[in-house]
């Protein structure tokens, strides 16, 4: 592989200013292409999203999650994330930026722990909310976007009511025993260039030395930092990334299984089947049948 500078895989902070009297905003429709992914980013606000069209994957730090039309997302201000559509496709999203703690501060409610967005994250929290599993929550996020865009009479009152409902449901999705805070909160930021590199090059052979190079670390340092930041060895993380991409293609296309395996970095069907089963505990064929039934 050619040497690549870690600057090409930088971590980006993308701040956004919200009005203090009504700190919530729905952006214009965003077309998410399948372009090469080169950076992770975080914001200074809580982000909700709704997928109106398309499919692909979200990477939120050490989590790799497929998405499709009708799914929603919830990402706090601390987690690094990126997304890309399936190869050869375009997805259409709308993003909502909000500060629920401030937006709902004067609502007369007592349980303000439900406005805490910092706890909506970590390894046990699935940032991609599947429409098939949580139709009411996904519909609520879409309705929130509609109200913010139309701004009809009384919309601010209705937006606050919808936000309360969304926050309650999101907190219900938190694991019963959430993971403890990382000893080093910056541990993911250190190896973020490697996560971006994997997202861009997972279809190719990825060498540990290349991942270490983009992070400006020695190979032993990189292995140690990567395990601390993601909870996985680099090879296990890359396998998970490849298989989650394969899940998207199996669920949303009629392409042959062998072709999908090659697309996701497995030159033989046997190696694809073996790795797919190790991650999902099922076969690609059975996964496709189950996804189509859903």
Please give the Cα distance from 230 to 184 (Å, whole number): 12
CA-closest candidate to residue 249, choices 93, 118, 99, 67 = 67
154: left (phi over 0), alpha (psi -120 to 50) or beta: left
CA distance 242 to 232: 14
* Total H helices, total E strands in the chain: 10, 11
Identify the structural domains of the chain with CATH numbers, from first to last.
7-172 (2.60.120.280), 187-293 (1.10.10.60)
The angle formed by the CA atoms of residues 208, 212 and 215, to the nearest 5 degrees, is: 145
* CB-based contact 94:145 (threshold 8 Å): yes
Q: What is the pLDDT along the chain (294 residues), one digit of tens a residue?
A: 333 444 455 567 677 789 999 999 999 888 887 775 656 788 889 999 999 999 988 888 878 898 999 999 999 988 888 888 887 888 999 999 999 999 998 766 667 789 999 889 888 899 999 999 999 999 999 999 999 999 999 999 999 999 999 999 999 998 876 665 454 556 677 888 898 888 888 889 999 999 999 999 999 999 999 998 888 899 999 999 999 989 989 988 889 999 999 999 999 999 999 999 999 999 999 999 988 776
Q: In terms of DSSP bridges, do strands 11-14 and 40-43 run parallel, antiparallel, or are they unpaired?
A: parallel
pTM of the model as a whole: 0.81
């Amino acid at each position: 592989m050619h040497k690549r500078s870690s600057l090409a895989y930088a971590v980006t902070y993308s701040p956004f200013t919200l009005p203090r009297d009504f700190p919530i905003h729905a952006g214009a429709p965003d077309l998410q292409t399948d372009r090469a992914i080169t950076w992770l980013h975080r914001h200074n606000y809580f982000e909700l999203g709704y997928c109106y069209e398309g499919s692909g994957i979200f990477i939120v730090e050490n989590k790799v999650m497929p998405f499709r039309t009708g799914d929603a997302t919830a990402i706090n201000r601390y987690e690094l994330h990126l997304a890309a559509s399936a190869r050869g496709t375009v997805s259409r999203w709308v993003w909502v930026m909000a500060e629920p703690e401030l937006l709902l501060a004067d609502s007369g409610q007592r349980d303000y722990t439900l406005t805490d967005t910092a706890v909506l994250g970590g390894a046990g929290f699935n940032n991609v909310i599947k429409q098939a599993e949580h139709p009411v929550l996904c519909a609520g996020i879409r309705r929130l976007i509609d109200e913010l865009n139309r701004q009809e009479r009384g919309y601010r009152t209705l937006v606050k009511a919808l936000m309360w409902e969304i926050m309650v449901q999101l907190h219900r999705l938190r694991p019963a025993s959430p993971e403890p805070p990382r000893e080093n909160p910056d541990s993911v930021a250190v190896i973020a260039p490697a996560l971006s590199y994997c997202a861009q090059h997972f279809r190719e052979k990825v060498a540990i030395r290349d991942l270490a190079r983009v992070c400006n670390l020695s190979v032993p340092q990189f292995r140690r930092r990567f395990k601390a930041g993601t909870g996985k060895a680099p090879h296990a993380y890359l396998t998970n990334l490849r298989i989650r991409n394969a899940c998207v293609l199996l669920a949303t296309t009629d392409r042959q299984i062998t072709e999908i395996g090659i697309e996701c970095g497995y030159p033989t069907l046997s190696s694809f089947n073996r790795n797919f089963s190790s991650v999902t505990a099922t076969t690609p064929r059975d996964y496709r049948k189950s996804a189509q039934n859903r």
